[in-house]
Amino acid sequence: MERPLVKRLAALLPVALLAALTAQETFSRGQHLVVDAKAAGVAAAVVALLLRAPFLLIVAVAVAVTAGVRALGG
């Protein structure tokens, strides 16, 4: 743990694992790839993130878009 590369990898590994788990839970159902209302919410969150919105606003946008798409039958 004293080498810089090992420290950097140890710091980034939890982020990568969480991102992979989030993607797997968002876009899969069993053995199948699924694009549904959750994908729209994630896309809206990415747009809000790129616009540098505050974290709570990003979450609110994702929730609102996901709920809206579900309400419209998606």
The counts of H helices and E strands in the chain are 3, 2
Neighbour tally for 72: CB within 10 Å? 8
Task: Output the pLDDT for position 3.
Answer: 87
Contacts of 58 (CB under 8 A, 6+ apart): 45, 48, 49
Residues 23-62: tens digit of each pLDDT? 898 899 888 988 999 999 999 999 999 999 999 999 999 9
CA 33 to chain centre: 16
Q: Is the pLDDT of residue 63 over 70?
A: yes
Q: Where are the domains of the chain?
A: 1-27, 35-74
Name the amino acid, one letter, at 72.
L
